[in-house]
């Protein structure tokens, strides 16, 4: 499945559909950021899978900062 663009995430939000697995999101289980433009997901697994690249890049930056701080 192609990942929708950020503007399409608003459409998924409005339809209460997970942009990762495209299943309906049960009421009360919406997972995601605090902004609608970042999407809403049916589970943490879908959130992590959808944002995997961003999460890996953030983890790499944090790790690099930690190494620099440890070595200073």
**pLDDT tens, position by position, 28-61:** 888 887 787 778 899 999 988 988 988 899 999 9
At residue 33, the pLDDT reads 76
Rounded to two decimals, the pTM is 0.68
Higher pLDDT, 1 or 28: 28
In what helix (H) or strand (E) does residue 32 lie, and over which residues does it extend? strand 31-32
pLDDT at 28: 84
What domain count does the chain have? 1
Contact 24, 30 (CB under 8 A): no
Domain hosting 16: range is 6-70
**Residue 1 falls within a domain, yes or no?**
no
pLDDT band (50, 70, 90) for residue 1:
very low
Question: Between residues 27 and 34, which one has the greater pLDDT?
Answer: 27
**47 within 8 A of 30, measured Cβ to Cβ:** no
């Amino acid at each position: 499945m192609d990942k929708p663009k950020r503007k399409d995430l608003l459409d998924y939000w409005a339809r209460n559909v997970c942009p990762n697995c495209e299943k309906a999101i049960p009421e009360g289980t919406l997972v995601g950021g605090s902004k609608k433009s970042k999407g809403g997901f049916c589970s943490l697994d879908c959130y992590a899978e959808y944002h995997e690249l961003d999460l890996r890049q953030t983890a790499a930056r944090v790790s690099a900062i930690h190494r620099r701080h440890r070595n200073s």
